Structure 1
Amino acid sequence: MSTVTTTQLSHESIDLRDVRNEFPLETERQNQSDGPTASKARQATTTFQLSGLNFLSSAVNGIILVSLPTLVAELNLPEQLHVWPISVYGLAVGSTILPVGSLADAAGSRIVDLVGCFSMALLLLASGFVKSGEQLVAYRALQGVAMSMHLASSVSLVTQSIPKGRARNVAFSCLGLSQPLGFSVGLVLGGVLVDTVGWRVGFYLTGGLSLLLSFVGLWALPKSRDRRTASEVVHELKRKMDWVGSLLASAFMVCLSYFLAIVSSDIGSVSHRDSIATLCAAGFALPAFVAWVHRQTRLGKPALIPNSIWRNTAFSSVCATMLLSFAVLKSMEQYCSLFFQEVQGLSATETSTRLLPSLVVGIILNFTTGLFVHKVSARWLVAGSSIVCAGGPVLMALAKPEWPYWYSAFFAQLLQPISGDILFTVGLIIVSEAFPEDTQALAGAVFNAASQFGTSLGLAIMQVVAGVVTNQAAARETPIDALLLGYRASFWAMTGFMVLCFALGHVGLHKTGKVGNKKDD
């Protein structure tokens, strides 16, 4: 009697065979290997190692965000680069993760992940010794490339080492929560470090722990059963990699992310020639990518992401809702921090303690989502968590500076992480089942690209909304009141995002039942 995992559907099945037929080269060895056979201890260590790197990289983002004013002053960072220590990281991840995912499937997820982990650790340690803001921006860009190697490989490594069912659901849950959880811890830790020993210690600490986890990965991460020589790997790269598709996808992500970063820092730059040229380049790269993968599929050649996969409504919907949910999650973290510091005048440490409730809720969700995800319809998990999470920005939009923390902001922090944490687990299960076993790294890359792009898009849109409203109110309001109006406008925009996320989840997943179920045949 064999054990399998199925996705139960309430009305009709999502037949993924047609989608998998679009990966003719990737499915050749799919049935040649047995399922994962790693011991439970190694499975747990693998999950811990992969989630730990996610946690630490996100913690760095939180540390940088809360210490940005101090960091900018100490490193004399030029005004046009003030937000780049944060934004360039997401830009680098988003622009490289798709080709890196395809590379991991061809060359092996283990080697790609380990290269990314060790590179990330060394770059974090080096960042603690920077002498200028430009050096930090450069290191942050390289960290983004290294992290894309880890993120793209993580899903594949989980599916290689952990069998389908509850254990894999919990592993996906840990991968999902580790990012927002790490960011929240980074905000708290960054506030303490800025007020005590300094922000550089944050890089030393996260870099050292990342290096330790990288060595753990040498033992824990599953080794490929497909023994190949270097020449065979090179041949596989030539045969399986869609190099043109990877280039077009990266060009689109780079141009669009760069455009959003420029516009978010200065809304007036939208009419500049370089901004228009960047947007036009993105507008050319997207249809060119669609046309190219259509050609590749028609000729039976490798296609990075076949167009047919987007006809899977569950897959398309979960990518869209993931984008919106992470756009709100990261924006809430940033603008709640700004509300506490810039409007209420609290210190970095006081701000950090007010963000702790979201950390506690995140920990609880980490231990529970993977356990109950297979018992509740994916439609109601996604839609329900989205509409509940929408209450967070509503409470912050209504909050008054003179109100005690417990009136409104506290409850907003409790609601903030619900959608992103639940959706990440549900989404990873759906996405991993939509791709063949030999393309799980690409599956992880697609999913993480949605979350990374959502983060960049959300922060850019909210910064534009807040900036426009603040500038309009500056003539008639005090500086603090003008800031408050801008922040409130961004919170209302976040509410709209979550309502849209609810609608997409409710409609797009209406035929999807429970996911991640394990049953015996």
Structure 2
Amino acid sequence: MSSTATITTTESSSLHLSAENVRLPTPQEAPRSLLQQVLVISQLFAVTLTASVIHGLVIAGLPTITKDLQLPASLSLWPSSRLPRWVELVGSLASGALMIGQGLAQNGIELVIMRALQGVGLSLHLASSVSIVTQLMPHGRGRNLAFSCIGLSQPLGFSLGLVVGGILIDTIGWRAGWYISGGITLFFTVIGLWSLPKSPAHQSADVLRNVRTKIDWVGAGLASAFMALLCYLLAILSADTSRIKTAESIIILCLAAVALLSFVAWVHYQSKRNKPALIPNALWRNTSFTSICATVALSNGVLNSMELFASLFFQEVQSLSALSASIRILPSLIIGILINLIIGFFVHRIPASYIVFVTSLLGAGAPLLMAIIHPSTTYWANAFVAQLLQPINADALFTVGLIVITNVFPDDTQALAGAVFNTSAHFGTALGLAVLQVISTVITEREEGRGKAEVKALMDGYQASFWIMFGIMVLCTGVGVWGLRGTGRVGLKRD
């Protein structure tokens, strides 16, 4: 299988802060002007947007980037991976600076390392976003729309990255996209210095002490070790599945299992002692929260895999240019924008379980259409409709999930729950892409061994992955409906 088809996200491995001890002044303590609210939401929107633009640039430019940097097949899976006030500013600054650094990368290893580090910066940004919005705006339509804007920034940024990436690759080169995105991110970081609400002076003075005493460094290390080992194992298997039998792979798998079990035991031990725990086990006792995290992980895994495999289908099976492939994925941008706006305005009128059920069923139609597509089928018959259905579920779930969190958790837990929710989405993306890539590689190698031409073997691998995606979306439907069955309507205005 072509090495350009091996790609995943490393952003999910980098939830390094526990936000449970962070609190912003409430709207009653410090009234916010409309201008400040607009600037804060714009800043959060722009930073998430540019991070998603980079993801789109990577997808559109995979073949070119892989050849230009001579990225080995075992590592080409990694480049696309993906306190509130100061956490947000540090995360935004790091993300912007590392975007520019990626544009300057001279080899694949440098790109991989900086993509992983950018994932840390983006996680800091996402972890703080929920707390900032909930403290800045009261319950009701305004907050719903704010969460919709943050949700909108991801599909909008990705689609822009696809289109801009296709244009840049065919004109001045892929690096320019990183420079532009990094510059925009740094600009909005400066905006955030003025607009983001400030914590009381005594909280700011305690930052260093809080870093030492209120962050679960052991839990962060165990979680990061688990994700790093798992993603690396899946990366090497996607290049050569026969390596699963080697001693190296077996050792990595065992170490990953030990890291996961140790993490669960450690956070339980910390919680019993009333000490900071990265992800307290008590969070998972809330059925609504657990189900929304599970569904967003499944949905995001399918969404990002659909984007990747559809792009590869257009480029490697139908032999289209990067720009032509990007244009064919563009309809998902329009639908993503519409879905986020609709959800923001009407989420409080419809029970959450109904939203999840309908959007999950529609989302399942996208991989189903691609699973039965033929290389010679006209774009308007299958692929176009698949692009229309592709973003519906993930975009709706992101907004619904953030609103559910603000409804079921108290203010001092919302930042932590929001961070876990965002990490679930990125974890699902990383794991979904990697697992589906391994499946696609196995099928492709098997068919090539039977004497099939390379393109036909690639198509068989892609179709097998699309069928798996369809099954995942059916599972997502069941989990979401069961878990949210008693939630009712969310995002209602409170007196």
TM-score computed with the length of structure 2 as normaliser: 0.91
1:183 to 135, 146, 158: 158
2:209 corresponds to: 235
2:279 corresponds to: 305
Q: SS of 2:276's equivalent?
A: coil
1:369 maps to 2:369: no
**Structure 1 residue 254: deviation in Å?**
2.4
1:68 maps to 2:62: yes
Q: Which amino acid aligns with 1:51?
A: F
1:83 maps to 2:77: yes
**Structure 1 residue 35: deviation in Å?**
6.3
**Structure 1 residue 168: deviation in Å?**
1.2
Q: 1:427 to 1:385 in 2, by over 3 A?
A: same
**Structure 1 residue 177: deviation in Å?**
2.4
1:47 corresponds to: 41
2:185 corresponds to: 210
8 Å contact kept, 1:379–1:509: yes
CA distance in 1, matches of 2:211, 2:172: 47
8 Å contact kept, 1:160–1:222: no
Q: What does the per-residue CA deviation read over 1:251-296, in whole Å, with 9 as the maximum and x for residues that have no partner?
A: 2222223323332333222223232222222211222222222222
1:265 maps to 2:239: yes
1:142 corresponds to: 117
CA distance in 2, matches of 1:515, 1:34: 23
8 Å contact kept, 1:35–1:163: no
Q: 1:245 to 1:119 in 2, by over 3 A?
A: closer
8 Å contact kept, 1:36–1:162: no
1:438 maps to 2:432: no
**Structure 1 residue 33: deviation in Å?**
7.9
Q: SS of 1:85's equivalent?
A: coil
1:169 corresponds to: 144
2:309 corresponds to: 335
8 Å contact kept, 2:24–2:135: no
Q: What does the per-residue CA deviation read over 1:362-421, in whole Å, with 9 as the maximum and x for residues that have no partner?
A: 111222211111111111111210011100111111121212111111110000000000
Q: 1:180 to 1:262 in 2, by over 3 A?
A: farther
Percentage of matched positions with identical amino acids: 51
Q: What does the per-residue CA deviation read over 1:439-473, in whole Å, with 9 as the maximum and x for residues that have no partner?
A: 43322220111011100111112111211111222
Q: SS of 1:330's equivalent?
A: helix
Q: Which amino acid aligns with 1:227?
A: H
The total of aligned residue pairs comes to 476
Matches within 5 A, 1:389-408: 389-408=363-382
2:220 corresponds to: 246
**Structure 1 residue 153: deviation in Å?**
1.3
Matches within 5 A, 1:438-477: 438-474=412-448, 475-477=450-452
1:222 to 194, 197, 208: 197
Q: Which amino acid aligns with 2:42?
A: F
CA distance in 2, matches of 1:242, 1:79: 35
1:415 to 389, 395, 404: 389
CA distance in 1, matches of 2:210, 2:393: 39
Q: 1:432 to 1:214 in 2, by over 3 A?
A: same
Q: 1:421 to 1:35 in 2, by over 3 A?
A: farther
**Structure 1 residue 201: deviation in Å?**
1.0
Q: SS of 1:514's equivalent?
A: coil
8 Å contact kept, 2:407–2:491: no
CA distance in 1, matches of 2:263, 2:432: 24
8 Å contact kept, 1:59–1:186: yes
CA distance in 1, matches of 2:33, 2:413: 24
**Structure 1 residue 36: deviation in Å?**
6.5
8 Å contact kept, 1:248–1:285: yes
1:381 corresponds to: 355
8 Å contact kept, 1:36–1:160: no
1:508 corresponds to: 483
Q: What does the per-residue CA deviation read over 1:63-115, in whole Å, with 9 as the maximum and x for residues that have no partner?
A: 112112111222222343223322xx44xxxxxxxxxxxxxxxxx11112111
CA distance in 1, matches of 2:424, 2:30: 28
Q: 1:277 to 1:60 in 2, by over 3 A?
A: same
**Structure 1 residue 434: deviation in Å?**
4.1
1:519 maps to 2:488: no
Select between 164-173 and 319-328 the one with higher mean Cα deviation: 164-173
2:459 corresponds to: 484
CA distance in 1, matches of 2:486, 2:356: 13
Select between 479-488 and 232-241 the one with higher mean Cα deviation: 232-241
1:15 corresponds to: none
1:109 corresponds to: 84
Runs (4 or more) in structure 1 with deviation over 4 Å come to 29-33
2:12 corresponds to: none
CA distance in 2, matches of 1:191, 1:415: 23
Select between 387-396 and 360-369 the one with higher mean Cα deviation: 360-369
CA distance in 1, matches of 2:105, 2:264: 41
8 Å contact kept, 1:36–1:161: no
Q: 1:222 to 1:490 in 2, by over 3 A?
A: same
Q: Which amino acid aligns with 1:69?
A: P
Q: Which amino acid aligns with 1:387?
A: L
2:130 corresponds to: 155
CA distance in 2, matches of 1:471, 1:41: 57
Q: 1:355 to 1:258 in 2, by over 3 A?
A: same
TM-score computed with the length of structure 1 as normaliser: 0.87
Query: RMSD over aligned Cα, in angstroms?
Result: 2.1
Q: 1:229 to 1:379 in 2, by over 3 A?
A: closer
CA distance in 1, matches of 2:422, 2:474: 22
Q: SS of 2:279's equivalent?
A: coil
Structure 2 gap ranges (5+): 1-17
8 Å contact kept, 1:246–1:304: yes
1:201 maps to 2:176: yes
**Structure 1 residue 156: deviation in Å?**
1.4
1:38 maps to 2:32: yes
8 Å contact kept, 1:35–1:160: no
2:472 corresponds to: 497
2:13 corresponds to: none
CA distance in 1, matches of 2:282, 2:289: 11
Q: 1:275 to 1:177 in 2, by over 3 A?
A: farther
8 Å contact kept, 2:244–2:250: yes
Q: 1:432 to 1:283 in 2, by over 3 A?
A: farther
